[in-house]
Amino acid sequence: MAPAPGGAAAAHPFTAAEKAAVYKAIEQRRDIRSFRPDPLPEELLLRLLQAAHHAPSVGFMQPWNFIVVKSQETKERLRQAADKERRALLLHYEGEQAQKFARLKIEALTEAPITLCVTLDPTRGGLHVLGRNSIPETDLASVSCAIQNLWLAARAEGLAVGWVSFYKKQDIRHILDIPPHIDPVALLSVGYTDEFPEKPLLETANWRKRLDLKELIYAERWGEK
């Protein structure tokens, strides 16, 4: 077994090919807005949900649920909720930025064969969840880890995922009969696509540039290089 960099041997190493596959999935993950209508096999969808369900969670509370939406009627209602919010947000931009925002395709809810609503139940585990007592927001971090697990697994399977972040949560609760205390964290479009772009959509559209990692790393304390 070859030693890890620095001379220390990894206790539970992946092979070089396995490591390369992990990094490839991370680097090639994209937020997709164009889908083919081909249905997803149930066993493939279940693999993605299993990947999500194996995410780390604070106090092992596993606060997530997954609502699988296939009905075109329901997806159309979700699309309308997203479009309502898009039109409201357009008022916050002016000039060239408003034109850029108007051209952005923010969702493909009625194109993708599956919409997943990923929710957070803050009551799961009872009143005293290990770790969450100190930092309540860790339950949301746990759900975010589940979403990222699913996203990376989907990329490895050749599937596309689009995260729709334009909606009022109360609208989604109403459409999907979600109880008031449950947080609809994300709407995800899942399906096949014809192309994974080389760069993220917002980078290609010149909305934002990727930050330089070196500028984001501090040594020992905030602001120290």
Work out the average pLDDT over 208-213: 93
pLDDT band at 1 (very low <50, low <70, confident <90, very high): very low
**Residue 8 resides in a domain:** no
Measured N-to-C along each axis, helices 72-90 and 95-103 cross at an angle, to the nearest 10 degrees, of: 170
Residue 79 lies in a domain: yes
Report which residue type is found at 174: H
Instruction: For 86-97, give the DSSP string.
Output: HHHHHTT--HHH
The residue length of the chain stands at 225
Q: Does 199 map to a domain? A: yes
State pTM to two decimals: 0.90
Give the count of domains, the chain.
1
11 in a structural domain: no
CA distances for 18 relative to 22, 24, 44, 185, angstroms: 6, 10, 20, 31
Residue 50 lies in a domain: yes
- Residue 223 placed within a domain: no
What is the arithmetic mean of pLDDT over 127-151? 94
Q: What tokens appear for 214 in the block?
A: 């070196």
Which band of pLDDT confidence, cut at 50, 70 and 90, is reported for residue 119? Answer: very high
Nearest C-alpha neighbor of 39 from the set 194, 192, 156, 195: 192
- Tell me the residue range of the domain where 43 lies: 32-216
Q: Does 130 map to a domain?
A: yes
Tokens at residue 21, please?
């596959």
- How far is Cα 70 from Cα 111, in angstroms, rounded to an integer? 11
Residue 20: inside a domain: no
How high does pLDDT run on average in the chain? 92
> In the predicted model, is pLDDT for residue 137 greater than 50?
yes
Q: Of 188, 182, 219, give the one whose Cα is nearest residue 52.
A: 188
Please compute Rg for the chain using Cα positions: 20
Give the CATH number of the domain where residue 193 resides. Answer: 3.40.109.10
Nearest to 102 by CA among 86, 113, 114, 117: 86
Summarised one tens digit per residue, pLDDT across range 52-99 is 999 999 999 999 999 999 999 999 999 999 999 988 888 888 888 878
Whether residue 188 has pLDDT greater than 70: yes
25: amino acid identity, one letter: A
The order of strands in the sheet holding 183-191 is 64-69, 114-120, 183-191, 160-164
Q: Are 165 and 31 in contact (CB under 8 A)?
A: no
